Amino acid sequence: MPKVLSPALSKYSRDALSLLGALIREARLTSTLTTTEVSTRAGISRGLLQRIERGDPGCGIGAVFEVAAIVGVPLFEMDERLLPARLARQTEKMALLPKSVRAPRTAVNDDF
Binding residues vs DNA (CB under 7 A): 3, 6, 28-29, 34-36, 43-48, 50-51, 53-54, 56-60, 63, 98-103
Q: Please tell me whether residue 76 binds a second copy under the rule CB under 8 A.
A: yes
d(CA 5, CA 16): 21
- Pick what 51 binds: a second copy, DNA, none; C-beta below 5 to 8 Å, kind-dependent: DNA
Cβ distance to a second copy smaller for residue 1 or 10? 10
Cβ distance to DNA smaller for residue 36 or 80? 36
# binding residues, a second copy (CB under 8 A): 56
Taking each helix axis as running N to C, give the angle between helix 35-42 and helix 61-71, from 0 to 180 degrees, rounded to the nearest 10. 120
**Among 1, 3, 104, 109, contact with a second copy (rule: CB under 8 A):** 104
- Are 27 and 73 contacting, i.e. CB atoms less than 8 angstroms apart? yes
DSSP per-residue letters across 9-55: --HHHHHHHHHHHHHHHHHHHHTT--HHHHHHHHTS-HHHHHHHHHT
